[in-house]
């Protein structure tokens, strides 16, 4: 560990698992470079401070009611949080930014989804860096959504659904339509995106949780939109810093001894991240599809993620027993360890950006089942550009799932896909090693923060 450099960085993650993980990982990286760390967080989805004893944690009152915390409408939650948290953040910073002996606050790092933080940071003369927890292609592209809508992208005839979208490659029109959302979501979504772009333009830089190896074209294009520096520092979890969990849920550690008993690359791991929910019939189709493969599976079903059900009680009677030990269902898994396990041979994923990166970094081929937002783009990269997975094209049907899992896990096609993901894994892993692209960008970022 390097010596403390008497400088403190304040990080303020958006309270979603997919944003907390990269932000806390960034905190660990900066701590290893000598910075002291303060994490400001909402009460909603508060990270566990006990998992990070070397950081200071400060909680803001966020004003969300119990019902609002349980809502499935993430856009609504983010809007409420943005409305409620400005004053609490201002008060918190007022207390923190007192001339303190021997430790200066260098900057605020927060998520682009916080749209009030730039003006707060400005009022304290505090440089603000924005963290991009998406693939950078999506980050650039999603800011175009309001303009595309104004220009009449929607509706389009069914016959054009598979056509590509030149300004948002490699999306197909049907993917972009899903990202743009339904009519009633259009107005709040577009207003939010316009605000994100407007406030972000005044930031001191953008820290991207991707690397040149995965995002070269979009990084090269970024100067057309942003004048500030971009720091693609690579998949955050493969930097050489001590491991610690930033899970909001308790990972079921029994996954690992269970995997230890399985043959090498024999298990399909299934997880749809921290936000996606499925209908009961989709859940049953996935269950039947997996069981019909006769292959081993490890499946994360978050409590509440089957709509209208507590957990897995709608599985047919005797379903688990009928698998003869070949299936295991848990509420939350130690995902990175699962993907790194020699027994894991494939990942049926919603293609959240963290899951996609984690799978690439472990060389695990994917089956893509995106549901919302950037997942549509990540899935296209996986299946159409990098060709390291197979896209389900939304077909949550037992026969399709059975067939696709079999293709990936046991057929020659799967072997080819596995070969490609291993090549990509090696390139991406090299980026964080000394002299690699991400390692150099990280050095630049540290120099920049230190220069303030």
Residues that bind ligand UPG (CB under 6 A): 16-19, 21, 133-134, 247, 251, 271, 273-275, 300, 332-333, 335-336, 352-355, 358, 373-375
* Closer residue to ligand UPG (CB): 235 or 289: 235
Which contiguous run of DSSP H or E holds residue 74? helix 74-84
Work out the number of other CB atoms within 10 angstroms of the CB of residue 363: 20
Burial (CB count <10 Å: 0-12, 13-18, 19+), residue 77: buried
Shortest spacing between CB 451 and ligand UPG, in angstroms:
29
* Closer residue to ligand UPG (CB): 36 or 45: 45
Contact 9, 107 (CB under 8 A): yes
104-111: strand order across its sheet? 56-60, 36-42, 7-12, 104-111, 128-132, 205-208, 230-232
* Closer residue to ligand UPG (CB): 327 or 352: 352
Shortest spacing between CB 429 and ligand UPG, in angstroms:
17
Work out the number of other CB atoms within 10 angstroms of the CB of residue 249: 14
* Closer residue to ligand UPG (CB): 17 or 438: 17
Cα distance between residue 347 and residue 264, in whole Å = 14
Shortest spacing between CB 135 and ligand UPG, in angstroms:
8
Given CA atoms 215, 218, 221, 227 in this order, what sign does their dihedral have? Answer: negative
* Closer residue to ligand UPG (CB): 126 or 329: 329
* Closer residue to ligand UPG (CB): 25 or 36: 25
* Closer residue to ligand UPG (CB): 120 or 208: 208
Shortest spacing between CB 318 and ligand UPG, in angstroms:
25
Shortest spacing between CB 25 and ligand UPG, in angstroms:
9
| DSSP codes joined into one string, 87-119 | HHHHHHHHHH-S--TT-EEEEEEEETT-SSHHH
Residue with tokens 């990286």: 29
Shortest spacing between CB 328 and ligand UPG, in angstroms:
12
Contact 124, 98 (CB under 8 A): no
Cα distance between residue 30 and residue 107, in whole Å = 12
Given CA atoms 223, 226, 227, 232 in this order, what sign does their dihedral have? Answer: negative
Shortest spacing between CB 369 and ligand UPG, in angstroms:
12
* Closer residue to ligand UPG (CB): 96 or 396: 396
* Closer residue to ligand UPG (CB): 276 or 320: 276
Shortest spacing between CB 155 and ligand UPG, in angstroms:
25
Cα distance between residue 48 and residue 234, in whole Å = 24
Cα distance between residue 247 and residue 222, in whole Å = 32
């Amino acid at each position: 560990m390097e010596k403390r450099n008497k400088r403190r960085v304040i990080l303020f993650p958006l309270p979603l698992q997919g944003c907390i993980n990269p932000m806390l990982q960034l905190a660990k990286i900066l701590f290893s470079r000598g910075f002291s760390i303060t994490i400001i967080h909402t009460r909603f989805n508060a990270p566990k401070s006990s998992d990070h004893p070397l950081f200071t944690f400060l909680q803001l009152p966020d004003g969300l009611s119990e019902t609002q915390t349980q809502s499935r409408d993430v856009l609504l939650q983010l809007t409420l949080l943005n409305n409620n948290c400005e004053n609490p953040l201002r008060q918190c910073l007022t207390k923190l930014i007192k001339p303190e002996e021997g430790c200066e606050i260098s900057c605020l790092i927060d998520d682009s989804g916080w749209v009030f933080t730039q003006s707060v940071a400005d009022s304290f003369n505090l440089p603000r860096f924005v963290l991009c927890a998406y693939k950078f292609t999506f980050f650039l592209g999603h800011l175009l959504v309001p303009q595309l809508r104004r220009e009449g992208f929607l509706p389009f005839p069914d016959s054009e659904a598979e056509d590509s979208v030149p300004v948002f490659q490699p999306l197909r029109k049907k993917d972009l339509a899903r990202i743009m959302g339904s009519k009633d979501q259009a107005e709040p979504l577009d207003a939010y995106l316009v605000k994100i772009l407007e406030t972000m333009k005044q930031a001191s830089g953008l820290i991207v949780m991707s690397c040149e190896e995965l995002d070269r074209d979009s990084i090269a294009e970024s100067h057309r939109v942003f004048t500030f520096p971009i720091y693609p520092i690579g998949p955050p979890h493969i930097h050489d810093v001590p491991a610690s969990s930033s899970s909001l849920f308790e990972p079921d550690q029994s996954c690992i001894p269970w995997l230890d008993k399985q043959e090498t690359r024999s298990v399909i791991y299934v997880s749809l991240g921290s936000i996606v929910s499925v209908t009961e019939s989709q859940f049953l189709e996935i269950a039947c599809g997996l069981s019909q493969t006769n292959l081993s599976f490890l499946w994360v079903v978050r409590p509440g993620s089957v709509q209208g059900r507590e957990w897995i009680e709608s599985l047919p009677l005797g379903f688990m027993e009928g698998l003869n030990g070949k299936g295991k269902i848990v509420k939350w898994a130690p995902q990175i360890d699962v993907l790194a396990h020699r027994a894991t041979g494939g990942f049926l994923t919603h293609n959240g950006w963290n899951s996609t990166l984690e799978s690439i970094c472990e060389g695990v081929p994917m089956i893509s089942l995106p549901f919302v937002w950037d997942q549509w783009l990540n899935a296209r990269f996986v299946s159409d550009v990098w060709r390291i997975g197979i896209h389900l094209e939304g077909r949550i049907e037992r026969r399709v799932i059975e067939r696709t899992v079999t293709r990936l896990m046991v057929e020659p096609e799967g072997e080819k896909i596995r070969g490609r993901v291993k090549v990509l894994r090696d390139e991406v892993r090299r980026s964080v090693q000394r002299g690699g692209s991400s390692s150099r960008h990280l050095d630049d970022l540290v120099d920049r923060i230190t220069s303030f």
